[in-house]
Amino acid sequence: MAAKRGPLPPISGSVTPLEWAVVLSCWLLLAIASAEPLHRQLAARGVPLTAQDLRIGQAIDWAVWAVLLPVAFATLDRLPLRCRVWPKHLIGWIGAAFVFGALHAVLSWPLIHLAANLLGVSPQVLSAPELRLTKLALDDAENFGLCVTAYLALQWIHRGRDERGQAREIERSLREARLHALSLELQPHFLFNTLNGIAALVRSDPKTAERMVVTLSDLLRLTLESGKAGQLPLSEELRQLELYLGLQQMRHGSRLTVQREVPTELETARIPAMLLQPLVENALSHGIGGRPGPGTLSLRAWREGERLWLSVEDDGVGISPDGPTREGIGLSNTRARLAALYPDEHEFRIEPRPEGGTRVLIRMPYQPDGVVTAP
């Protein structure tokens, strides 16, 4: 069942300059275009008016209505045609037609005299009763129909614009709620794994375990702060990674070597918070952690046009090039966050390295610091 559409919205104060230009331009073209048919009609009756006289008269008519139009729109906004009140308000619209017709007649009269003096013709020539420019309010009220037509057209346009804006806002709110849930899911997973590592050293190396607790405290503070931001500069993400890798190096000692290739100019690029940490954690746990001897973790970033590339590589046990890749919380969470933030503008790829180990590649829009794309 289709959802019921809301009432047409008021438009006073929300008409854009472009919309005003379109309405007034169409009205002016209609006024000028009607001069030639009126000239033929009046010439057949023997009225001594030229087509140029009629164009001038129609231009005066348009100019006065252009001045009255914002006031007319504000008046119609106060008389919405809604359930239970529309009969009373419809009467108000009819009354407004006569009121604005009278205003138009009063404002047009001095302009007609001024134009007549400049052209050297009698004012009666430009205000003949046969024209719609007449000073009589009854005839001018007919032109109020054009005000109503323009008003209703803008109401329909604005309702469509408002509905699209509301739909985008709802979609954005849902996406933010999903991203927040995914971010909250990452934090306990990361904390659980780190505490396990600390627990393993409490008896065998209590001093190292104590240093890890202090470092973990600093890391959690940064993680909570970055989680509120949603996106942060790459440099901040790398700073958090340094603390996390410091924890891991305390745990693994000389078995872990970290390499980083990130150009300075890319450190201001904005990326989702905690984007790289779960990938690093996965590489240490399932890659390097599964092989005997030391291992190397590599972090790289580079730019190709308006795209930012990030990679996390390890020389661990690797993955089968043919078999399916099993994704845990960290990888599946990262894939879901990228899909929510950049639906058609990202790439997330897990592949074996030719020299052994695993490579995770991320392609996403390049966003310099201060230019954040709304999700």
Which of 40-44, 121-125, 227-231 ranks highest by mean pLDDT?
Answer: 40-44
Q: Tokens in use for 334? A: 């990262």
Query: Is it the case that residue 318 has pLDDT exceeding 60?
Result: yes
Which of 15-19, 64-68, 116-120, 203-207 ranks highest by mean pLDDT?
Answer: 15-19
Asked whether 341 and 348 are in contact (CB, 8 A), the reply is: no
Return the sign of the alpha-carbon dihedral for residues 339, 342, 347, 348: negative
pLDDT tens for each residue of 146-189: 888 888 888 888 888 877 877 676 566 556 555 554 454 545 65
**What is the Cα–Cα distance from 367 to 36, expressed in whole angstroms?**
57
Domains of the chain: 17-165 (no CATH), 202-365 (3.30.565.10)
pLDDT of the residue at 180: 53
pLDDT tens for each residue of 331-372: 887 888 888 888 888 999 999 888 888 999 999 999 987 554
What's the distance, Cα to Cα, between the start and end of the chain in Å? 30
What is the residue-averaged pLDDT of the chain?
76
Asked whether 273 and 227 are in contact (CB, 8 A), the reply is: yes
pLDDT tens for each residue of 12-28: 778 888 888 888 888 78
pLDDT tens for each residue of 181-216: 445 454 565 666 677 777 777 777 787 777 778 777
Query: Is it the case that residue 136 has pLDDT exceeding 60?
Result: no
273-287, 297-311, 318-332: which has the minimum mean pLDDT? 318-332
**What is the Cα–Cα distance from 297 to 256, expressed in whole angstroms?**
7
pLDDT of the residue at 354: 86
Q: Tokens in use for 174? A: 């849902």
Q: Tokens in use for 368? A: 């310099």
**SS3 per-residue string spanning the chain:** CCCCCCCCCCCCCCCCHHHHHHHHHHHHHHHHHCHHHHHHHHHHCCCCCCHHHHHHHHHHHHHHHHHHHHHHHHHHHCCCCCCCCHHHHHHHHHHHHHHHHHHHHHHHHHHHHHHHHHHCCCHHHHCCCCCCCCCCHHHHHHHHHHHHHHHHHHHHHHHHHHHHHHHHHHHHHHHHHHHHHHHHHHHHHHHHHHHHHHHHHCCCCHHHHHHHHHHHHHHHHHHHHHHHHCEEEHHHHHHHHHHHHHHHHHHHHHHEEEEEECCHHHCCCEEECCCCHHHHHHHHHHHHHHCCCCEEEEEEEEEECCEEEEEEEECCCCCCCCCCCCCCHHHHHHHHHHHHHCCCCCEEEEEECCCCCEEEEEEEECCCCCCCCCC
Higher pLDDT, 307 or 293: 307
- Going by C-alpha positions, the residue among 334, 332, 212, 191 that lies closest to residue 273 is 334
Amino acid (1-letter code) at residue 51: A
Higher pLDDT, 294 or 249: 294
How many CA atoms, within 13 angstroms, populate the side-chain half-sphere of residue 42?
Answer: 21
**What is the Cα–Cα distance from 74 to 147, expressed in whole angstroms?**
11
Q: Tokens in use for 222? A: 């940064």
